[in-house]
Structure 1
């Protein structure tokens, strides 16, 4: 085998390039491994920061709860409900009630809108009982128009005024310009 100096140089350069390529590949793998470790460390740092934030919030919440408990004990004296405070049903609730004593305020009554005296039956639709199938005026105990009259003259005057206003507002007048 005859090796000339040119061939030795070529083999030397090729071997140097192979060694440099191998070192480059090794160095690239090492750099990627270090990058992966840095990335993992950053992820752990984010998780630790989240844990720290959670623990700070928990600490502040508990310290606020302690401050509120101390304020409650000092100022208000509220207690948590116990099982003996709850009632079992309507009968036990009714047993707690007492009859109205002397000087007690009158019970709250709900307003009753009556139909105006000028209109015979009702305003728009007659109220029909779903059980009896009759109108509200035909049911026993219903207040009729004759019974309603004579109760309060001021109220009747207001009802007449409201009926007249309703008729005026319900009437539509067409403008002259719209006709042409």
Structure 2
């Protein structure tokens, strides 16, 4: 009898732990679903705030258009262009042009240098500390070549 009660008590604890684990998993899923709904609601709020700003800007623009139209009617007297004011094409635009007068300044031209293929001579390398020219006192014979090429020498020494 005692062994059967002990066995029943163990079985009860196992069932209780299984129920607690199932409730914990269900609660975790519920918390995650609520968290997801909160994120979606926050995103929707942000989207609505942006839309509100856009609509406010459009409202202010249209209100200022009304104000501009009132100023135009009273103060400026501007009118919208009519259909007869538009140009039909390039030929009609060219017909509106006039030949350049003799006293007119010459047209603006872009400066352009000729591309000569000669070798560019770099200035001598100068020490930034002393201001004196760098002497070629190295065991490496290719140092003179690197000094002559300037930028390649600096790029290579930066890699080392």
TM-score (norm 2): 0.54
DSSP-derived class of the 2:58 partner: helix
Q: Which residue of 2 aligns with 1:8?
A: 8
The structure-2 alpha-carbon separation of the partners of 1:108 and 1:61, relative to structure 1 and needing over 3 Å to count, comes to farther
Task: Mark the CA change 1:22 to 1:67 in structure 2 (over 3 Å): closer, same or farther.
Answer: same
Paired position in structure 2 for 1:109: 103
Residue 146 (structure 1) aligns with: none
RMSD over equivalenced CA pairs, Å: 2.9
- Residues 72 and 78 in structure 1, CA contact (< 8 A), matched pair in contact too: yes
Q: Distance in 1 between matches of 2:49 and 2:103?
A: 61
* 1:136-168 per-position Cα deviation (integer Å, ceiling 9, x unaligned): xxxxxxxxxxxxxxxxxxxxxxxxxxxxxxxxx
Q: Which has the higher contact order (CA 8 A, sep 6+)?
A: 1
Residues 90 and 27 of structure 1, relative CA distance in 2, 3 Å threshold: closer
In structure 2, relative to structure 1, the CA distance for the partners of 1:60 and 1:108 (3 Å cut) is farther
Gaps of 5+ in 2: 107-160
Alpha-carbon distance between aligned partners in 2 of 1:91 and 1:27, rounded to the nearest angstrom: 79
Question: Within 5 A, what are the aligned runs for 1:119-138?
Answer: none
Separation (CA, whole Å) in 2 of partners of 1:90 and 1:27? 76
- TM-score, length-scaled by structure 1: 0.48
**Contact 1:87/1:93 (8 A) holds in 2:** no
2:27 paired residue number: 27
- How many pairs does the alignment contain? 101
1:50 shift after superposition:
1.2
